[in-house]
Amino acid sequence: MPPENSSSGSGSLSLSEVRPGVWGKYVWVRIQGVGGDARYDLGCVGAARGRSLKGGGFWRLGEDSLVATHLSMGNSPSKSAANATPAAMTGSAAAGSAVSAAVDADEPDDPSGCSGKRHHHHQQQQQQQQKPRSAQRDLSTFDALLADTSSPPPVSRRAGSSTTPSSVSSSVKTVSSSGSSSSGDPPHRPRKSTFVVNEFIKRLMDARYQPVMSKQFCLSSAEIQTICSVAGAVIHNQPVFLELGTPVKVVGDIHGQFGDLMHIFDMCGLPPRSNYLFLGDYVDRGRQSLETMLLLLCLKIKYPENVFLLRGNHECASVTKVYGFYDECKRRCSVKVWKCIVDVFNVLPIAATVGGKIFCVHGGLSPSLSSINDIKQIQRPTDVPDTGLVSDLLWSDPDPDVQTWGDNDRGVSYCFGRPIVERFCRKFGFDLIARGHMVVEEGYEFFSDRRLVTVFSAPNYCGEFSNWGAVMTVSKDLLCSFDLLKSSASQQQK
């Protein structure tokens, strides 16, 4: 156990300035005080300034300006870490970036191709007065995390909007081109006891060129557990109800169709050049749910203010045992890996707004939702209950044959009609509800006079539907457009 304090430098850190995390495996990190030489190895470190975080080994930078230089699973630091050269970050420097540290691996290239059809839907509104964005949550995990300081500003968090709601009108434009990407180097193992997120991203992206049925996974169980521990902390440190700015790309269900997720990045650009809000249902049914979920978690770690992941009804332990993700984890990795990923599911945010005018959720509305504060007060971690607000937000569906609330054919939650959508938008000042949860032929489908849109991003779903996939882009002035994509599998056959 290190001494309680040190006198080596004015920036030395007192042990009383950090608190242990409240749960999770012990992750050992080396830390130092800015301006001083004092270094301590602590287990399951929480946040500076007294706030505990889930999933140890990750904390929030503040005036204390802590910086991590080593991260490994185990009971003690490795000898190799003792010789590691720590990075340093001051409080003023930390305030300007979401994540900052040095890396050994190169950043993956951003493919520039695009394919499919593009449909534009205009949303007219008064000029919004931009509020100054509050200081980002400054996070530092380890020396392998890269901050792309040359990228556009991240999605800002907004408290709301005072603009007048307006209807969505439509015009159509068709474009066509093809995206391409070359295979990178074969996967290789990172240095022991070091969490190199760039390398993990590269290895996961290279998995698109590997046989789909391969049982060998590109990451070890220990590496996956580390990713889940860090990603869980990043996600839990952000609100359960996200308030995002623009521009942002809204992605619907993926369902383990990893090749199609990569096609989306080819078409729309990788973060941080493009900001993303995913509406949930990353796993189950598809053959590569592990690659899909872990790549998104790695991108969330690297770009916490550019990538946002909402929870879907399939991000639930009981559902994954029925629809395939549990079996995939057991076959390709271990049940322990499945449990770690489920822990991340239980802290995912439930809903979001974009520009204060678009309400985003996986499923739909709820009769239990009387105020937006009802969502903000949802406590995490939480499983998905059989009934109630969380269940409805993840499971409910629009139905043109229902006036108010009706039984859902899924056997869970409700169906809601046009009057419910109109009442919700009028009450809370939203122009549009964006949701996933349903396969639709064109990849997107409007409901209730364009007040609600379903976005589904898994083309040729399960190999049984001839549907398109879609990604909705929301521009700075709330112009909504849709990029459509065909299945990556069908393109490879050509």
Q: Say if residues 239 and 444 touch (Cβ distance below 8 Å).
A: no
**CB distance 341 to 284 below 8 Å:** no
Angstrom distance (rounded) from CA 385 to CA 387? 5
Q: Is 119 a residue of the active site?
A: no
Closest residue by Cα to residue 200 from 186, 210, 190: 190
Strands 469-474 and 248-251: antiparallel
Any idea of the CA torsion for 47, 52, 56, 62, to the nearest 10 degrees?
A: -10
Q: Which of 70, 119, 314, 437 is catalytic?
A: 314
Active site residue ranges: 314
